[in-house]
Amino acid sequence: MMGYEATLAFVLLVSLTFYALMGGADFGAGVWHLLARGSSRRDQHRLIGDALGPIWEVNHVWLILIVTILFTAFPKAYVQISITLHIPLTLLVIGIVLRGSAFAFRHYDVKDDEIHVRWDQLFAISSLISPLLLGVIIGAMTVGHFPVNSESFFQGYVSPWIQTFPLILGIFTLSLFAYLAATYLLLETNNAQLQEIFRKRAIIAGLVVGFLEEAVLILGKSGAPQLWGELQYSLWGACLQLGVGGFAIAAVWFLLTRRYWWARTCAILQVTMTIWAWGIAQFPYLVPPDLTVFNAAAPEITLQFITAALFLGALLLFPSLFYLFRIFKGGQKAQHE
Amino acid sequence: MSNLLAARSLMAMALGFHIIFAIVGMAMPLLMVLAEWRWLRTKEEVYLIIAKRWAKGTAIFFAIGAVTGTVLSFQLGLLWPRFMEWAGPIIGPAFAIEGFAFFTEAIFLGIYLYGWQKVSPRAHLAAGGVVVISGIVSGVVVVMANGWMNTPTGFTLLNGLPSNIDPIAALLNPSGLLQAPHMILAAFAAAGFAVAGIHAFLLLRQQGNVFHQAAFTIALTVGCVSAILQPLSGDFLAKRVADFQPLKLAVFEGQVHTEKGAPFRIGGIWNSEQEAFDYVLEIPYALSLMLHLDPQGEVQGLKDFAKENWPPIGIVRTAFQIMVLIGLIMMSLALWAAWLAFKKRNVFESKTFLKAMVLATPLGFIATEAGWVATEVGRQPWVIVGYLKTAEAVTPMPGVIIPFIFFAGLYTFLTCIVIWLMWRHVLASPTQLDMMRNVKEAKQA
Ligand code: HDD
Ligand code: HEM
Ligand code: HEM
């Protein structure tokens, strides 16, 4: 039986996975919006808008859940992260505000005219900001060693995240989300031309992801030695790495052979295992070397209470989510299976 | 501007902005569901068109509500880390419940907005119902968390830190239990009056447009029922404030010295040198009567309390008075509407009434902002009354003025865009002729 601390850390990891797989892909779709070229540009935009419309707000709530669990169950860590990473967190929410507002302005307006191009641009550009910063924040938490009572502003609030490892993790996160989005969009359309476009993009993105994944690992050796050690010198670390690599190759293979449903499944598994490899290697630290899920935890009663709330909430949430996705995402998938 | 002041201003701005969207996000689904329900009952297409029109506008507000709410959940930690460290384990579980309410709200709103063709009419209506309920739940829970800051319960203090935590007792704190219904009523009153006001304006320009008549009637009904209950709930709440935060109540009511048989004071300007209010109008014994149901009841004055714990008096009292004044105006309008409905059997014939409603469009929002300023500034210098001062809770990071300026710009920009979009929305509302065409199209579809 896992203790409450470990259980809640696990729930955090699961929520982060859902956020990446769902909310992350919505940001990734924004990247493809920005990169849309060629004669089918408008169709690409429409595809992206239609795919996001009914679900992006739901997907976004995963992030809110993560923040909530963090400040309820691990208040000391939330506080330290909020103080030290004030700047990237603020930039992250600015990206979120701009992306969401621009999407709403564009899609829920009563008229359809020129100004919509502007909202589209704002939507696409702001979709870049948040994944980048999310990666930077997670990277900074991985490197850890947050300064206490630092002397200068730079030391206290800037240098913990302006470092190679967090920055490369930011770029990696962005590419991961774009990759996911491309494999999803393939299954959202029946138009062969669009599928061909997103197939190519998915393949390229898949290769970029693979390359960056290696870069992250190599930089991790000096940047986040604790993470690197866990991944390199443990059996499960090796297994997870093999799994990630295997699914990555499989996904590209299925893309090349046009088996999209399989490609998407492999991409999902690849991303999931990537996040879990990070999570397991990071455990039990929230911010090494001082804050762990054990010493940052709230009193037992709070942990019990929130675990119960999460359990009951999940009973409500998953059937509802299933219903939503069946209504809006059911049709296309069936045709491709 | 000091760091503390910048943080307070940023928090106040972010909350004051979010609340507008939260109100609309809470109340509009009810109006839409009522319109759709009328459609299912009467089969008159006009109601369906109203529901669809409202849904489009609401979606914008909802999206902005969601993103600005996200800003808040980060800002609680970014600006007030010591507060969150203290309060997180105690009221955090409330936010977890709210999180799931957000999930169901967003899920079923997605179905509501995009599912007209995809689910049966009943399932569609039910989805709207779930949006209404989860919106109310999230509003209630977050306000209860705020109530805890006013009347902290559910823990004991051990060596300066909270222990023996009881999250349920914290959630069911005395202030929160009465603040929550007052806030929910405020949301329905404000949104109901605002929507009714817009349709009243269009009705004055296009007499006899059935679209606006029907929309006006639905919005007015919701607004009026709430506006009549609102002062009642405010009265209960004021009694609770008198019990638990007597200093705050003294500031609300302009009670400087403790006195038996206290009068109700209207107006007045705080003179900080003399420590008295100038130019007040007094209604003898009324305050004692209201609070204690006894004309000789004793009301504590603010001089009974240490001066260092006084909130900014002028702002708090002015804000409170604005809220109460508006509450009385809105109640009078609601009674007028009830009288018209009873006497004339319809509420949109009287031009004077329509004009009054147009003027009342923003009142509910102003009252809500004023009420929150009274509550939150009236809580100063405490962030958790009696336990933690705002100044101790603020982030150590210097330069909060920069995000403050940035967010001020961002929110001003968003405000302008939303107003402009709503203006387009109103201009695009169907004329009588369109209505007939739309009805035909809707029948064919
Ligand atoms: C449409 C909006 C609206 C209207 C018409 C009123 N109020 Fe209100 N009031 C609010 C909207 C509001 C609010 C913004 O929603 C507050 C802020 C905190 C809260 O829970 O509700 C509030 C707070 C609030 C408080 C402070 C609670 C505290 O500090 O803990 C009191 C005593 C009252 N109200 C009393 C009244 C009375 C006596 C009213 C009528 C005549 C009245 N309100 C009308
Ligand atoms: C949405 C409606 C709300 C509005 C308009 C509002 C308004 C304000 C204002 C004006 C301040 C600044 C007070 C000052 O420093 O003088 C403030 C502070 C604050 N509010 Fe609220 N508030 C709202 C709801 C809430 C809720 C629901 C919570 C928490 C659950 C909350 C938590 C805080 C905190 C933590 C501060 C900062 C500390 C402080 O200044 O005491 N507020 N709010
Ligand atoms: C009196 C105060 C408040 C009320 C009545 C209120 C109500 C609501 C409602 C009804 C929504 C649903 C979205 C919408 O309708 O636009 C919402 C969204 C949200 N609120 Fe607030 N809120 C309040 C204050 C706060 C505070 C203090 C926080 C932060 C801690 C917060 C966090 C959020 C978040 C994160 C969302 C987004 C949920 C989503 O994605 O659907 N709210 N709020």
A107 — pLDDT class (breaks 50, 70, 90): confident
Tell me if A336 is assigned to some domain.
no
Whether the CB-CB separation of B227 and B242 falls below 8 Å is answered with no
Q: Distance between CA B406 and CA A153 in Å, rounded?
A: 19
Domain count for chain A, please give it: 1
Question: Tell me, what's the pLDDT at A331?
Answer: 56
The answer to whether the CB atoms of A317 and B398 lie below 8 A apart is no
Question: Which residue out of B237, B248, B289, B363 has the highest number of ligand 1 atoms within 8 Å of its CB and is therefore the one to mutate?
Answer: B237
CA B194 to chain centre: 13
Residues in chain B with CB shorter than 8 Å from the CB of A5 are none
Q: Which of B68, B110, B163 sits opposite A324 (nearest CB)?
A: B110
DSSP letter for each residue of B292-348: HSSTT-EE--GGGS-GGG---HHHHHHHHHHHHHHHHHHHHHHHHHHHHHHHTS-SS
Ligand whose nearest atom lies closest to the CA of B329: 1
Question: Tell me, what's the pLDDT at A14?
Answer: 92
Q: Does A115 touch chain B (CB under 8 A)?
A: no
Please give the angle made by the CA atoms of B324, B328 and B329, to the nearest 5 degrees: 115
Question: Tell me, what's the pLDDT at B143?
Answer: 94
Q: Is pLDDT above 50 for B206?
A: yes
Q: Distance between CA A185 and CA A51 in Å, rounded?
A: 8
Q: Does A157 touch chain B (CB under 8 A)?
A: yes
Residues in chain A with CB shorter than 8 Å from the CB of B421 are 105, 109
The answer to whether the CB atoms of B70 and A64 lie below 8 A apart is yes
Q: Does B422 touch chain A (CB under 8 A)?
A: no
Question: Tell me, what's the pLDDT at B444?
Answer: 56
Q: Does A110 touch chain B (CB under 8 A)?
A: yes
Instruction: Mark which residues 219-238 of A lie under 8 Å from B by CB.
Output: none
Q: Distance between CA B72 and CA B61 in Å, rounded?
A: 16
Residue A299 lies in domain: 4-329
| Residue percentage of chain A with pLDDT more than 90 | 14
| Closest residue in A to B92 (Cα–Cα) | A72
Output the CA B334–ligand 1 centroid distance in Å.
17
Question: What are the tens digits of pLDDT across the range A32-48?
Answer: 888 877 777 777 778 88
Considering only CA atoms, which residue is closest to atom 38 of ligand 1?
Answer: B234
B435 — pLDDT class (breaks 50, 70, 90): low
- Nearest atom (ligand 1) to Cα of B19: 14
Q: Distance between CA A100 and CA A113 in Å, rounded?
A: 19
Q: How many CA atoms lie within 13 A of A276 on its CB side?
A: 19
Q: Distance between CA B303 and CA B282 in Å, rounded?
A: 19
Question: What are the tens digits of pLDDT across the range B343-384?
Answer: 878 888 888 899 999 999 999 999 999 999 999 999 988 999
B230 Cβ closer than 6 Å to some ligand 2 atom: no
Question: Tell me, what's the pLDDT at B147?
Answer: 93
Tell me if A248 is assigned to some domain.
yes
Q: Is pLDDT above 70 for B436?
A: no
Whether the CB-CB separation of A333 and A187 falls below 8 Å is answered with yes
The answer to whether the CB atoms of B63 and A108 lie below 8 A apart is yes
The answer to whether the CB atoms of A306 and B93 lie below 8 A apart is yes
Q: Which of A53, A100, A313 sits opposite B100 (nearest CB)?
A: A313
**Amino acid symbol at A296:** A
Q: Does B430 touch chain A (CB under 8 A)?
A: no
Structure tokens belonging to residue A286: 């929230």
Task: Work out the angle between the directed axes of helices A260-282 and A225-232 (0-180°, nearest 10).
Answer: 120
| Range with lowest mean pLDDT among A22-26, B37-41, B182-186, B366-370 | A22-26
Question: What are the tens digits of pLDDT across the range A266-285?
Answer: 888 888 888 888 888 888 88
Q: Is pLDDT above 90 for B46?
A: no
Q: Does B416 touch chain A (CB under 8 A)?
A: no
B372 Cβ closer than 6 Å to some ligand 1 atom: yes
Ligand whose nearest atom lies closest to the CA of B68: 3
| Closest residue in A to B56 (Cα–Cα) | A108
Q: Does A82 touch chain B (CB under 8 A)?
A: yes
B97 Cβ closer than 6 Å to some ligand 1 atom: no
- The b-or-e profile of B383-406 (16+ CB within 10 A means b, else e) is bbbebbbbbbbbbebeebbebbee
Tell me if A48 is assigned to some domain.
yes
Tell me if A337 is assigned to some domain.
no
B376 Cβ closer than 6 Å to some ligand 2 atom: yes
Burial label for B309, CB within 10 Å (0-12, 13-18, 19+), is: middle
Question: What are the tens digits of pLDDT across the range A227-236?
Answer: 777 777 777 8
| Residue percentage of chain A with pLDDT more than 70 | 96
Question: Tell me, what's the pLDDT at A335?
Answer: 37
A330 — pLDDT class (breaks 50, 70, 90): low
Q: What is the mean pLDDT of residues A239-250?
A: 81
Q: What is the mean pLDDT of residues B74-98?
A: 89
- Interface probe with B: pick from A50, A52, A58, A99, most Cβ of B within 10 Å: A58
Q: What is the mean pLDDT of residues A103-107?
A: 83
B233 Cβ closer than 6 Å to some ligand 1 atom: no
Output the CA B186–ligand 1 centroid distance in Å.
8
End-to-end C-alpha distance for chain A, whole angstroms? 39
- Nearest atom (ligand 2) to Cα of B142: 27
| Predicted ipTM of the assembly | 0.88
Q: How far is A98 from chain B (nearest CA, A)?
A: 8
Question: What are the tens digits of pLDDT across the range A195-220?
Answer: 888 888 888 888 888 888 888 887 87
Q: Distance between CA A120 and CA A34 in Å, rounded?
A: 9
Output the CA B234–ligand 1 centroid distance in Å.
5
Tell me if A71 is assigned to some domain.
yes
B186 Cβ closer than 6 Å to some ligand 1 atom: yes
Output the CA B17–ligand 2 centroid distance in Å.
11
Q: Is pLDDT above 90 for B397?
A: no
Tell me if A253 is assigned to some domain.
yes
Question: What are the tens digits of pLDDT across the range A147-167?
Answer: 877 778 877 788 888 888 889
Omega cis (within 30) before A319: no
Tell me if A334 is assigned to some domain.
no
Tell me if A43 is assigned to some domain.
yes
